[in-house]
Chain A
Amino acid sequence: MLSKSAARAFFLVGTAVCSLAFVGLTVDTFGRIPEQTHSAAITPEVARGKVLWEASNCMGCHTIFGEGAYYAPELTTVYERRGPDFIRAMLRDPEAMYPGQRRMQNYHFDDRQIEDLLAFLKWSGAVDLNGFPPKPTLMPVAVPVPGKDGAVATSIDRPQIFNQMCVACHALGGQGGALGPALDGVGMRRDAKYLHDWLTDPHAVKADARMPKLPLTPGQIDELVAFLSHLKTGGTP
């Protein structure tokens, strides 16, 4: 039968061995972190951004590297997902992008602070996280829907700005947000002039529009109008 001294020895030896192994692995890990996290890319802006990230308690709602709270989106790869303009607009006015939806505190950041946070988020997106965040493996594949005359939907490439900004609220081919109407077939419902005016300032077209005025350049608006006008199939006219 196990004696008390044997039990104590089990505790002490086990703890000592595991602690030593843990310290050894920690030393090894810190030798590898600089390469895996591109620590050379941690500029003063990134460092300031991290300080601001903590002082604003961003982790109180968001996650980064999957760590934080679960009230607001995961931000590790937000720089790539939404692009700098979307993030800038959001940080300047948290109600700019999702008006009437779940609210974020307005921190009244100045321009330099916004750029620092952007630099931090850009750095975080480049860190090798061993496959996190995962790709949605069960995502329905968007298949071009044949039109009435049998022709498939336009093959015109989606502008980058569409994938970053528009899909936050609108779906196309079943993928994207559900806050605004789906954009399938929008080219049949609206002409180019309407789309142009709408994207320039939704409230000038419709005073009670739920869509905010987006931070788009004239070039981006033209690109989007061209793309949206080609969306002739799918959806309800």
Chain B
Amino acid sequence: MKYASQKVAYWFFATCMLLLGLQIVYGFIMAFAHAGFDVLHAVIPFHVARATHNNLLVVWLLCGFMGAAYFIIPEEADRELMWPTLAYVQLGALVAVGVTAIAGFHVGWFEGRKFLEIPRPLDYLVVVDVLLFIANIGATMWYGRRVTTTSLVLFFGLFSAALLYLPGLIDTPNQTEDSYWRWWVVHLWVEGVWELILGGILSYLLLKLTGVDREVVEKWLYVIVGFTFLSGILGTGHHYYFIGTPRYWLWIGGVFGAIEPLAFLGMAIYAVAMARLGGRNHPNSVAVLWTVGCAIMSFVGAGFLGFAHTLPQVNLYTHGTLVTAMHGHLAFWGAYAMIVLGIITYAMPLMTGRKCYQAPSAALAFWTSNIGMIAMTLAFAVAGVTQVYLERRIGMDFVTVQKEIEVHFYGLILAAGLFASGVAMFIWNFVSYGLPVDALVGAEMEIEVEEVQVRMVRS
């Protein structure tokens, strides 16, 4: 790492690992309940597991984005982080809010709106915490020696994400209006500004890993985020088909939702093209794997599977079924989880001076978790399509249909076992890197890290 303050990222990444592990545990609780083994009902009813699973995801991804920003921004701005101590305080506060929220779920403290389950007082604390984070990286960029497009895109992604949290706080007795604003947060995050964050991190990784000219990488970054907003903003309409809003949303959401995959397709082509163009054989090949893999899997999960049920005539039947869970899992994994795991894989050797990416478990973690997740997606797909056919087309009763599709959740559990073992290997690899080392400050590239190590051995 070039600057000493970049190592705050380590603690954010470590938090990610912890929360990701916990998220998977809650996922298993739900999968077993769906398969007919709701053994923890008295302690952790399904809805508690569900809220915990979703919110852990949101918190660990945000944590990962913050860690990524703390690692990337000092280097891009060419100066130390403005207030490194504040970054630790801010992480501590975020973890405290997260723990309170999760503990609250288990004793029935909710504001049960899908994805925004954390109660109102904690919402305000999240806003304050994120503002501290924005101020820290904003000031670092402002007083930095240079402002790059990559850092600007990353910053505005994070800044807009904070801003877009606010519509979710609008209070209304009308469920339709409630849902309308909720999607300003959820959709405009994951199919809007989070893609800026994804694009920013991806562009940084491509710059570092492929050695392609900055001018070229950043030009195409603009084109891709341009497509994201061109389709994604009005694409919010695909959530406004059936919630009590005017019929014209079927047209707007249908048309713009249908072109949303183009942004993801662009991202996949971009990553593959840059990796080929660069031709540099970066020693951290596993980081390249995660980076290019992320771009491809986000197209498959978010782009292709999103398209599969975005058209209103399809969505009429799939809306509110397990088909959504099928798309959701691969989309979040491909687009957001993988980019966080990618930046972690890239940053760890630079912070710790170890080369654990050479261990066989590093590449194996990538393949196992991805094959596991694809298998999970297939299990959800079979369950979802069966549910749509039996319940929505044939008109069978909900409870009867759920019994029919229990068997597909056995498949899901098997696939999830594979996925979890991949993630476990990743976490093991993370742990084996150890803690950041101060002696590496000033070493920006792998080759410089090696020089530092040689000097250390000699002295």
Residues of chain A having any CB pair with chain B under 8 Å: 2-4, 7-8, 10-11, 14-15, 18-19, 21-22, 25-26, 28-30, 32-33, 36-37, 39, 42, 46-47, 50, 53-61, 63-74, 98, 101-105, 120, 124, 127-134, 136-140, 167-168, 175-179
Is A102's CB under 8 angstroms from B110's CB? no
Number of interface residues of B (CB under 8 A): 74
Known: A2-B219, A47-B173. A179 touches B114 (CB 8 A): no
CA distance A138 to B272 in the complex (A): 44
Is B320's CB under 8 angstroms from A68's CB? yes
Is B234's CB under 8 angstroms from A21's CB? yes
Is A22's CB under 8 angstroms from B234's CB? yes
B80 at interface, CB cutoff 8 A: no
CA distance A134 to B393 in the complex (A): 8
B179 at interface, CB cutoff 8 A: yes
Identify 13 new A-B residue pairs, CB closer than 8 A, beyond the known A33-B245, A137-B393: A2-B223, A10-B222, A18-B233, A29-B245, A42-B173, A55-B110, A55-B112, A57-B48, A57-B108, A69-B50, A132-B316, A138-B394, A168-B397
Residues from chain A with Cβ under 8 Å of B324 in the complex: 70
B448 at interface, CB cutoff 8 A: no
Is A36's CB under 8 angstroms from B41's CB? no
Mask: chain B, 395-413; 1 = CB below 8 Å from A; 0 = not: 1011110110000000000
Residues from chain B with Cβ under 8 Å of A129 in the complex: 242-244
CA distance A22 to B108 in the complex (A): 36
A73 interface neighbour in B105, B176, B392, B398, Cβ under 8 Å = B398
B433 at interface, CB cutoff 8 A: no
Which one of B138-146, B246-254, B284-292, B346-354 is at the interface?
A: B246-254
B446 at interface, CB cutoff 8 A: no
Residues from chain B with Cβ under 8 Å of A55 in the complex: 110-112
B219 interface neighbour in A7, A72, A133, A139, Cβ under 8 Å = A7
Residues from chain B with Cβ under 8 Å of A136 in the complex: 391-395
Is A70's CB under 8 angstroms from B48's CB? no
List the 9 closest pairs (A to B, CB-CB), nearest first: A60-B47, A136-B395, A66-B320, A57-B112, A132-B242, A11-B226, A139-B395, A7-B222, A47-B173
Is B51's CB under 8 angstroms from A14's CB? no
Is A10's CB under 8 angstroms from B399's CB? no
Q: Which residues in window 35-85 of B have CB below 8 A to A?
A: 38, 41, 45-48, 50-51
